[in-house]
Amino acid sequence: MIGSILLSISILSAVPDISPEVPAAYEINAYLDDSAHTVTGALKVDFVNPTSRNLDTIAFHLYPNAFKDTSSVYCREDGRARSAVERGNVSKIEISNVIINSGKIEESKYGINGTRLYVDLDKPLRPESKINIELDFEILIPEIIGHFGYDSDGDYLIAHCFPILCGYQKSRLIDWEYHANSEFFSNFSYYDVMIELPKDFKAVSTGELLRESETDSTAVWHARADTVIDFALVCGADFVEFESKIDGINLKYLLKERNADFYPLVDSTVKNSLRYCGDLLYHYPYGSFSIADAVFRTAGLELPGLIVIGVMDANENIRRNILKKTIAHETAHQWFYATIATNEFEEPWFDEGFASYFEIKIASHYEFDKFPFLFSNYLSSDKSVRRFYSIADGARYPINLKSWDYPNRQDYYSAVYSRAWMVLQALENVMGVSAFADALKMFAGDYRFRHPDQRDFLESISELSPADLTEFTEMFIDGTARVDYSIESVKFEKSVPDGDSGDLEYIVYVEVARKYDGILPQAVTLGFEDGTEIYKIWDGEDRIARIIFETKSIPVYASIDKKTSYTIDENMNNNTIYLKGHVTRMISFEWDAIFIIEFLASIFL
């Protein structure tokens, strides 16, 4: 093992300049033992204190310890992980030989607490002062559990594995335990990684990865990544490699052999997603982007400059669309997570909500948000399912809780992914589509390669918002406001015509209601026989309001939010009233319903 490490030691080109903005530079030498499922190696990190205070302790993440035994926070929170560990599928990371500024320190000076390592400093590290820490590590890789491991094909997802520093956000150390719902947070850093893999392995990673040398049985790979929040690698023998390029970005794909036919679909979706997010936010800032296919327990995983997707059997329409949406979602994370590096521990809605928002935008723009089901003109939409999923949950929790404050995964996903998307969409409508797009672009530009929090976001977009967002924030981001607006009734009466025109005029009274506590401005529309529409904006504040229109003819319908701009509205069925009912349409549906029961009855005669 030592020999292998020595073999793989590289001569670094130049030590990058670390600063409070990019406070760490890592040099990692590692060896993957495929038969023992271990990664062993040595890590060196140059670190500059990015805070405004002295630091007495340096903290590292030791995520693999989440699955060391069932007493971990993760296992206590997640039954599936707990049973995996009970079955003996464990992971752990062991640390030894800790050296600070070339001086080996005693074991009593550092200690492991769950998924964190704390190293006590002999003397405080002053703001903007540098320190060098070295350590050896040995990681036992489990069969896929949480966010890393090897899959049933023997391919590896080596993510969140290495002992990297806990990050600081606005001078505050973010050293939370690894929770079952939580994802990650760390500061932007430089990585120089040499890793020795079995010779037949193919690999993709964060940053630029090159196969540098080979022995009889192994190959040494060298990765360099600038200004990234983490380093991850996917490798295995069961992959087919593809390469492509878009707008100066080198794309590298590792697809399972059985899924190689899906390369064109994956490639086009990645390119579309990169371009779409790039246009709306800023150009993807790295020179390479990698996509790996893994038999993974969730659909996808975002990593810096690398996404992992489960291609599965994407032959059916529904799976193909799910795959495309997963790619769009994880690619959007290259902005909201990887480069606008929000705190996934404490504000998981921030990156997941935006990734969901962009996923749905991309799907709609490239027309893969809907797919035919059963009949060619019956279009099913994942967006509708997602909306249902969240609304059915009843907005029980605000979207901005810490990830572990949600009592279970369903509430977490419902709030952080689905409701957050609906809240962002509502915000877009409150501000106006154009103003929201401008505000978002400005925010993204300002906070690129930074660690903004929710307050930064709201302050930033408020600058371009025509509406005051305080109440909106209280209701929908900090609160659990629910929304349902309805048309209660439509009445009209003839009015005396003005002047000599002789045109018969009508006064139309539309009674609208707000059924829940959520308040959103609404467009109340009247539609006429010739297809024309008129509308009035209602501030949506009163519980019941009467909107009065003067018209030349009797309307066909009255509608509130006719364009269904607010997916957060929990009942779309009460948004429109037609003055004349659609009797034949209903009869048609009723025959369909009767037929289903009739047909089943005829089979089981």
Partner 1 sequence: MMKFLKNRVVFASALFGLLDFMQGFVIASPILIYLRIIYENTESSLHLWPLPSFEIFSDFMINHNDLFVLYIITAAVLYILFFIIKSFFTGGIYRLIIYGRQNPLIIKTAKDFLKSSSEIWIGFLKVGIFGVLIYGLALFLGMIFGDFFGRFSGFLKFVIIALFLLLGSTYLQILKIYIASTSDISLKAAMKETRGKISKAFMRILIGNISVSAAAFAAVLILWFILKALKSSEWSVILMILTIAVQQLMVFAVCLGQSLRINFNYSVIKEGGENALGGDELG
Using rule CB under 8 A, residue 210 touches partner 1: no
How many Cβ atoms are within 10 Å of 497's Cβ, its own excluded? 12
Using rule CB under 8 A, residue 529 touches partner 1: no
Using rule CB under 8 A, residue 531 touches partner 1: no
Strand ranges of the sheet holding 233-236, from the earlier edge strand across to the other edge: 149-150, 156-158, 233-236, 202-205
- Closer Cβ to partner 1, 30 or 360, answer by number: 360
Residues binding partner 1: what is the number (CB under 8 A)?
A: 52
Using rule CB under 8 A, residue 542 touches partner 1: no
| Shortest CB 297 distance to partner 1, Å | 22
- Give the single-character DSSP code of 166: P
| Shortest CB 265 distance to partner 1, Å | 22
Using rule CB under 8 A, residue 598 touches partner 1: yes
Using rule CB under 8 A, residue 594 touches partner 1: yes
Phi and psi, residue 64, nearest 5°: -55, -25
* Number of Cα atoms under 13 Å in the Cβ half of residue 285: 18
Helix H or strand E encompassing 84 = helix 79-86
Using rule CB under 8 A, residue 535 touches partner 1: no
Three-state secondary-structure class, residue 587: helix
| Shortest CB 579 distance to partner 1, Å | 8
- Closer Cβ to partner 1, 227 or 429, answer by number: 429
Q: Which of 13, 35, 501, 573 is in the footprint of partner 1 by CB under 8 A?
A: 573
Listed ranges 221-229, 235-243, 334-342, 584-592: which one lies at the site for partner 1 (CB under 8 A): 584-592
As to burial, measured by CB atoms within 10 angstroms (0-12 exposed, 13-18 middle, 19+ buried), residue 509 is middle
Give, as ranges, the residues between 374 and 403 that touch partner 1 (CB under 8 A): 374-378, 380-381, 384-385, 387-388, 391-392
Using rule CB under 8 A, residue 364 touches partner 1: no
- Closer Cβ to partner 1, 172 or 378, answer by number: 378
Using rule CB under 8 A, residue 585 touches partner 1: yes
Phi and psi, residue 223, nearest 5°: -120, 140
β 156-158/233-236 pair status: antiparallel
Rounded to a whole number of angstroms, the CA Rg of the chain reads 28
Report the C-alpha gap between 484 and 519 in whole angstroms. Answer: 9
Report the C-alpha gap between 364 and 201 in whole angstroms. Answer: 37
x/- map, 467-486, partner 1, by CB under 8 A: -----------------x--
| Shortest CB 333 distance to partner 1, Å | 27
Using rule CB under 8 A, residue 570 touches partner 1: yes
Using rule CB under 8 A, residue 605 touches partner 1: yes
Q: Cα separations (Å) of 339 from 178, 269, 302?
A: 21, 20, 12
Listed ranges 27-35, 321-329, 351-359, 573-581: which one lies at the site for partner 1 (CB under 8 A): 573-581
Q: Which of 113, 491, 552, 591 is in the footprint of partner 1 by CB under 8 A?
A: 591
| Shortest CB 423 distance to partner 1, Å | 18
Tokens of 543: 């519980």
| Shortest CB 227 distance to partner 1, Å | 43
Three-state SS across 169-237? ECCEEECCCCCCCCCCCCCCEEEEEEEEEECCCEEEECCEEEEEEECCCEEEEEEEEEEECCCCEEEEC
Using rule CB under 8 A, residue 318 touches partner 1: no
Q: Residues in the site for partner 1, rule: CB under 8 A?
A: 374-378, 380-381, 384-385, 387-388, 391-392, 484, 557, 559, 562, 570-599, 601-605
